[in-house]
Structure 1
Amino acid sequence: MSKSKFQTEWQEIDDEYQQLQETHKVYRQKLEELTNLQATCSSAISKQRKCLKDLRHSLSKCAQSCDEKELKVISDIKTQIKDKENVFFDMEAYLPKRNGLYLNLVLGNVNVTLLSNQAKFAYKDEYEKFKLCMTIILMLGAITCLFFLNSRVTDEIFNFLLVWYYCTLTIRESILMSNGSRIKGWWVLHHYVSTFLSGVMLTWPEGPMYQMFRSQFLAFSIYQSFVQFLQYYYQSGCLYRLRALGERNQLDLTVEGFQSWMWRGLTFLLPFLFFGHFWQLYNSVTLFRLAGREDCKEWQVYMLALTFLVLFLGNFLTTLKVVRQKVKKNHDKVQKND
């Protein structure tokens, strides 16, 4: 190659480099502007929240000595306050904010807010695929341990996989909630309790008590994975239809339970869910009986019995509450139409 050709090629590279520097400079400026806008919006939302809180408190005091007409005005204002707070929640999904206690302990004060809808949906879809994939792996793992490999080593691997799976779910769900997902209540706490239960199972030493409960636990794990597999497909299909109709938030997730939006065409899941809930109660009763034996020395038996009881109560009462609310709502709707 001639010297002039080298100079020409270098000149082209240098021109592109200069353009890159200019583009990066503009990017840095825009990024600084974005950061300032984020801080301004966050500050304004905090101020609005404080003003609305003070106003609600004043309205509650005023309502004690108001006539019927004034009470209606106060009720309307309170409804508008609630609507504004819902809007603030949606706004904050696109603004950096402090992590909750759990994310701070796990990740530190790292900004986990995804700023674009595309990034939020991609993360949510990856979360759903992860749950589906792990459900299948856990089902196969439980089948292998129950029917093919009666070994403490494989049991420990399976229990460790359960601990890792539920720990990962809690972290991913916390990130999704920071980005606007409205999953809340028991279905969040459920995974923390399941993590604890799996950790206790992992530490349970080999012995007669463990062998007495082993088959029952593995059979329960197979059934639980089967129900979660059913839930994923039917809930995801239901959510897709509701999102298309604009009735559900784009970041709503499938859960290991029953929620009001599942009512349409998904009530057939209820018998499977209730059977799984009562199986958890049966596990608890079995473990309490084992804990009462004179030859039972392991603390894990009693702790697992309590944890399964907590899971049963949380799952059963939450599902029952949703069903009752939905039945009452449908009944009121029928009466109103009549």
Structure 2
Amino acid sequence: MARGAMENSSSPSADKIEEEVAAAVEEAKELSDAVSVHISRNQTDEQPLRQRAVALDSKIRSLRSSLYSLLHNKNLNPNLADKLDEDLQRARCILVDGDASSLLPGHAQGRFLRMFLGPINVRASRKDVQLKVKEEYNSYRDRTALLFLLFPAILLVLRSWIWDGCLPAFPVQIYQAWLLFLYTGLALRENILRVNGSDIRPWWIYHHYIAMLMALVSLTWEIKGQPDCAKRQRGVQLFLQWAMMQGIAMLLQNRYQRQRLYTRIALGKAKRMDVVWGETAGVDGQLWLLCPILFILQGFEAYVGLLLLKTAFVGVISEWQVVFCGFLLVLMAIGNFTNTVQTLMTKSRFKAKMRRSKSKQALN
């Protein structure tokens, strides 16, 4: 009888749970239908806003083109042209830095992203998500800049103190594998930033493609040991020294230039999705320190590349990897130098424009 009583007492509970499960299933269906209606309604309401955003962006571009045409034909006062150009730049920053940016068409996703991620859309629909992508990129650069400096420094110290002036192959290959991971991560993040409206120069992305290729090839490069280790590893030693200098330059850029970029964003002269690369965001005092370091770094990079080519052609190290890496280093040095000079010329023109504006204000 006790057993029968237990079965009777459990029956209402079983019936109740069955009803609750059925109610949960029905509620899930209703909620799904309601969300579908809400999304459909939002898409309908969003379409006119999207058209307005695209039309305004096109209008700003057209006005800027007309402004430059009038200035070129000397049909417009240069001081007035500068003011109108700043107003148009401010209007565009308002458009692309607000929530309306999600309504504008982004950069097309290139083959690199499709190769690694497939045909998925990496453009964020909300501005706060886009800014989180940028902050993660900055954080990644901060971490890797320190490792870029410490990793080769440790290898060179151990070479002198423990390895009797002859680097073993395994730790060098670990460093080369880390470089491949580093540049792949940078290239992926920069492509995603460009899709979300950042102004990263195409050269820096191409630079990282080349660096990825060089790191991949260097993994197959046999690290020669004794006899005559110092001569055979001269290119590796110089490359590690160059990497230390690169780490110092990255730390300076990350530390000082980002502060200047925040100032430019506050003044409406840059977008919140813009990032620091090269010397575009530096002020005069920082440029006096940074530019010589950059030019020395680029010259040393070209020197290491030429040295590798020389060692291959004179027969000291005749592997194809040496020739290939030497050529890529020279190519990157030339590209970096050209980009730096173009940036400085742009900055010089901008400073001249600011001086004209200040002179006009002083006269008034």
Judge conservation of contact 2:279–2:291 (CA < 8 Å) in 1: yes
Find the counterpart in structure 2 of residue 319 from structure 1: 340
Q: How far apart, CA to CA, are the structure 2 residues paired with 1:170 and 1:225?
A: 18
Find the counterpart in structure 2 of residue 23 from structure 1: 31
Give the number of equivalent residue pairs: 327
Find the counterpart in structure 2 of residue 235 from structure 1: 257
Letter paired with 2:32: H
Higher relative contact order (CA 8 A, sep 6+): 2
Letter paired with 2:35: Y
Aligned match for 1:302, one of 317, 323, 327: 323
* RMSD, matched Cα: 4.1
Q: How far apart, CA to CA, are the structure 1 residues paired with 2:283 and 2:209?
A: 26
- Structure 1 position 182 matched with structure 2 position 210: no
Q: Alpha carbons of 1:262 and 1:68: their partners in 2 closer, same or farther (altered >3 Å)?
A: closer
Letter paired with 2:267: L
Mapping for residues 71-110 of structure 1, pairs under 5 Å: 93-94=102-103, 99-110=109-120
Find the counterpart in structure 2 of residue 192 from structure 1: 209
Shift in Å, 1:228: 0.6
Q: Alpha carbons of 1:172 and 1:38: their partners in 2 closer, same or farther (altered >3 Å)?
A: farther
Q: Alpha carbons of 1:205 and 1:116: their partners in 2 closer, same or farther (altered >3 Å)?
A: same
Judge conservation of contact 2:223–2:233 (CA < 8 Å) in 1: yes
Find the counterpart in structure 1 of residue 300 from structure 2: 279
Find the counterpart in structure 1 of residue 149 from structure 2: 139
Find the counterpart in structure 1 of residue 176 from structure 2: 159
Q: Alpha carbons of 1:332 and 1:250: their partners in 2 closer, same or farther (altered >3 Å)?
A: closer
- Structure 1 position 129 matched with structure 2 position 150: no
Q: Alpha carbons of 1:19 and 1:163: their partners in 2 closer, same or farther (altered >3 Å)?
A: same
Shift in Å, 1:95: 5.8
Q: How does the TM-score come out when normalised to structure 2?
A: 0.72
Find the counterpart in structure 2 of residue 201 from structure 1: 218
Unaligned runs of 5+ in 2: 1-8, 76-80, 160-166
Q: How does the TM-score come out when normalised to structure 1?
A: 0.77
Q: Alpha carbons of 1:37 and 1:290: their partners in 2 closer, same or farther (altered >3 Å)?
A: farther
Unaligned runs of 5+ in 1: 70-74
Q: How far apart, CA to CA, are the structure 2 residues paired with 1:4 and 1:219?
A: 78
Q: How far apart, CA to CA, are the structure 1 residues paired with 2:232 and 2:252?
A: 30
Q: How far apart, CA to CA, are the structure 1 residues paired with 2:92 and 2:266?
A: 25
Decide which structure has the larger Cα Rg and report it: 2
Judge conservation of contact 1:182–1:251 (CA < 8 Å) in 2: yes
Find the counterpart in structure 2 of residue 171 from structure 1: 188
Q: How far apart, CA to CA, are the structure 1 residues paired with 2:121 and 2:45?
A: 16
What is the aligned-residue identity percentage? 22
Find the counterpart in structure 1 of residue 283 from structure 2: 263
Q: Alpha carbons of 1:118 and 1:329: their partners in 2 closer, same or farther (altered >3 Å)?
A: closer
Judge conservation of contact 1:94–1:113 (CA < 8 Å) in 2: no
Shift in Å, 1:39: 7.5
